[in-house]
Structure 1
Amino acid sequence: MFWCTDTRLDAHDSRARGGAEPPGGWPAVTVIVPARDEAEMLPHSLPSLLGQRYPGPLRVVLVDDASDDGTADVARDLGRQAAGGVELTVITSQPRPAGWVGKVWALEQGLRAVPADVNWLLFTDADIAHGPDSVLRLVGHATTYGLDLTSLMAVLRTQNRWERIIVPAFVYFFAQLYPFRRANRPGARTSAAAGGCVLMRRAALERAGGLAAISGAVIDDCSLARAVKRAGGRTWLGLADHGPCGVRSVRPYPRLADLWKMVARSAYTQLRHSPMLLAATVTGLVLAYLVPPLAAVAGLAELATGAGGVAAAVAGAAGLCAWVLMTVTYLPMIRYYRQPMPVVLTLPAVAALYMIMTVDSARAHHRGRGAAWKGRAYSAPDSDSVAGT
């Protein structure tokens, strides 16, 4: 059931919506935002955090991660302009120690600035905009259901042609790798989170060994979920809503090359830098998404010319059935992203693109470049980056 898109914050539960105050009142929450060269994105995202309608104590800590574009100044200006009562603190990142990836080190510095009496942390990216009731809904959901880590997969942009074609498939394939329902089961080995929006109990993070436990994780979100689960914590991942309670990415991907970088920078890391897993993944993509339409077209073409026999008929029928099946499973994601129905027919072609991107990610790793983002490259294998296997 990985293709279902109904794993979201429960809109029918008044407690999860924040309709009922948790026992002991609304807890204090600190939002930690790692930001590296995000001056262009912050005007579209930071005001949404500073304008939250949260009835408890709420504070935002933005960590300027060695930016060259005036990110810290932009953040301070936005803080002065904010009309809400949410306090903003901007801190400058210290030099990154050996063994830490940039984002996790920035989160760690933000965590050190959080007062000891704050028990809830919201890790969110600088390109994520939050609906005005986002924190309220997240805290309500987490406290109602006794969760230690609550994460939302942000709604990604689908405004240009390449975004409309690539983005729904990106989330579809992520859900296939990390089925939300399975990941949310306490006893399941699969663990997953979406790093753009992660609400954490501080005590659960400490039981999991703190951020130091995932200091070198390129895929920090799934690694964090795995560490929390291993320590006995309960995790939950769902899709964000489109309404005022949801979260969405404001980062544009105007060219195919931009989306290519987004996928390829961590694709081989997800496969644990294993040539065997890479071969298995390529084979799986070919068999699941490319063979069915090719078999359907080839079999039906042979029958149309009169050259085909029973074998051609069986191959064509089997390929057509599999093609229809994959199309049906893709429909919920196309509807979730509010795209025209014909986009569903692009799945085999997009699967081929993702296969090439994954191979390109492996090629970059073996040439010593590894995962790269914002001018930093991480070539060392990340043994704990893939959750759920």
Structure 2
Amino acid sequence: MAAHVVTACQWILLAGCVGASIYGLAAALAMPFFSARHESLHHGRVSSVPPPPDTALASASPYSRQQPFTQPGVSVLKPLCGAEPRLYENLRTFCEQRHRRFQLVLGVSSPHDPAIAVVRRLQAAYPECDIELAIDTRVHGRNLKVSNLINMASRVRHDVIVIADSDIAVDADYLDGVAAPLADADVGVVTCLYVARGVGGFWPRVGALFINEWFAPSVRVAHAIGSRRFGFGATLALRRATLERIGGFSALKNCLADDYWLAERVRALGLRTVLSRVMVATDVIEPTFGALWQRETRWLRTIRSVNPAGFASLLITFPTPWLVTSAALSVSLASRAGGHAPFAAVIASQAATAVCFGARLLLHLRAARRERTFWRDLPLVPLRDTLIALQWLFSAFGSHVVWRGARMPVGTAGERAGQLDSLT
């Protein structure tokens, strides 16, 4: 009879609270503490600290320091669009690599792009580096970034290709680290997670928390339970021959989530995706709430377009809303007249509240770079979590996103064409 005191809606909410608390603890434990290396990336410095070795490949890799002359040449492709804040500092980190043979191909789609002046400055500062600027106005398909990559591809001279977004900074062992897993013939793509750094004020700080305390933990949890269906624009490393087998960049020219679909098409060849231990840094530069909202809802709609089930499962990844729900449910159940609420429901709600609260604090601690950062950003945590939940709800609707001024459809036949058809 006591069980009837708790309504079906309350049981559902309780199940959600318990699930969210378990997820929150898993996310907190999956995240590493930021190290001195990550701190150097945050400030745009090239670190001398090497990334942790991939123990599965370190002993067998022909790319190791013991055999430097067997390192394959690497062509790094960086499509550019405008003179972003810190563009020169970010590109500079790619010029200071320890890898013996690498080429930088920097591409723009307009002869008037302000990024050209930044590249010229870089070429003057690093005359010993193989830095090539590709200026090509031809447009291929709806995805302008991929169109830029198609125009840059003819300049590739090496057998390993690394594609990295323009706002990425790396340490000096980056190319060694991301190329090493490709020594295994079963590996098709290597990708990297990233540390976000806010550039320019309050909203960039809020945006950095989106990546550091929501996106990155969710990827790590998915990876820990065996998922390999990802590919991030921060870094995609693959063999030139593999790119040719999937039809080159032209196969992605109408895809919204080009980074994801590149990795997915490689997986369709029976090759594995490796999440590298190498971490890179990315800039969050959106100066206003509106700009940040547009960027983050674009990401969420993109997730919805490539993985609807995964998008739906994100419901349990918003800690603060679930924490408030769990606390309110706990108070409601514990205060029932005569103690008629089931003891198990009361204990479960209280445990979920405690675990969710502790896990959220632990996640924030592990994502913070310094003690000062932890305390400075702690008041932003409830805002950040609530904002993500609202963005998720908003992103469940709508058929288009705006990316670099271009309006692109979500989940259309053009997007699906980027999946597994027409493989060579």
Q: TM-score, normalised by structure 1?
A: 0.78
Q: Check the 8 A contact 1:299/1:313 in 2, yes or no.
A: no
Report the number of matched residues: 366
**C-alpha deviations, 1:137-188, integer Å up to 9, x for none?**
2223433686321111121105755455553443554356645664896xx6
Q: Show structure 2 runs of 5+ residues with no match.
A: 1-25, 34-49
Distance 2:208 2:133 in 1: 32
CA RMSD of aligned residues (A): 3.8
| 2:122 equivalent in structure 1 | 78
Of 363, 374, 386, the residue aligned with 1:340 is: 374
Q: 1:108 to 1:273 in 2, by over 3 A?
A: closer
For 1:32 and 1:377, locate their aligned partners in 2 and report how far apart those are by CA, in whole Å: 24
| AA of the residue aligned to 1:101 | N
Q: Is the 8 A contact 1:162 1:256 kept in 2?
A: yes
C-alpha spacing 1:348/1:316, structure 2 compared with 1 (3 Å): farther
Q: Which of residues 259, 269, 280 is equivalent to 2:292?
A: 259
1:218 matched to 2:274? The reply is: no
Tell whether the 8 Å contact from 1:334 to 1:344 is kept in structure 2 after alignment.
no
- Asked if the contact 1:168/1:334 (under 8 Å) is kept, the reply is no
Rg larger in 1 or in 2?
2
Maintained 8 Å contact 2:146/2:249: yes
| Among candidates 235, 242, 249, match of residue 204 of structure 1 | 242
Query: Which residues in structure 2 correspond to 1:123-162 (within 5 Å)?
Result: 123-143=163-183, 147-158=187-198, 161-162=202-203
Measure the CA separation in 2 of the matches of 1:294 and 1:86. Answer: 56
Q: Which has the higher helix share?
A: 2
TM-superposed deviation, 1:12:
7.6
1:226 to 1:164, Cα distance in 2 relative to 1, 3 A = same
Would you say the 8 A contact 1:66–1:93 is kept in 2?
yes
Q: Which amino acid aligns with 2:290?
A: A
For each residue in 1:5-39, what CA deviation from the matched residue of structure 2 results, as whole angstroms up to 9, or x when unmatched?
A: 359953485667943327x7111111100001135
Provide the rounded CA distance (Å) in 1 between the counterparts of 2:107 and 2:193: 22
Query: Aligned with 1:205: secondary structure?
Result: helix
Pick one of 69, 91, 94 that aligns with 1:46: 91
- What is the match of residue 192 of structure 1? 230
Higher relative contact order (CA 8 A, sep 6+): 2
Conserved 8 A contact 1:31-1:59 = yes
Q: Which residue is 1:244 aligned to?
A: none
- Match runs of 1:173-322 below 5 Å: 173-175=214-216, 178-179=219-220, 182=223, 190-238=228-276, 240-241=278-279, 247-272=280-305, 280=312, 284=316, 290-300=321-331, 303=334, 309-311=339-341, 317-322=347-352
Once the two structures are superposed, residues 68-88 of structure 1 have per-residue CA deviations (whole angstroms, 9 ceiling, x without a partner) of 5421122122211225x2211
Query: Which residue identity is paired with 1:140?
Result: A
Q: CA deviation at 1:120?
A: 0.2
Is contact 1:217–1:385 with CA below 8 Å preserved after alignment? yes
Q: Deviations over 1:263-285 (max 9, x none)?
A: 112312321299x8699458656
Give the match for residue 377 of structure 1. Answer: 407
Tell me the secondary structure at the aligned position of residue 195 of structure 2. coil
Contact 1:48/1:130 (8 A) holds in 2: yes
Normalising to structure 2: TM-score of the pair?
A: 0.72
What letter matches 1:157 in structure 2?
Answer: R
Which residue does the alignment assign to 2:66? 20
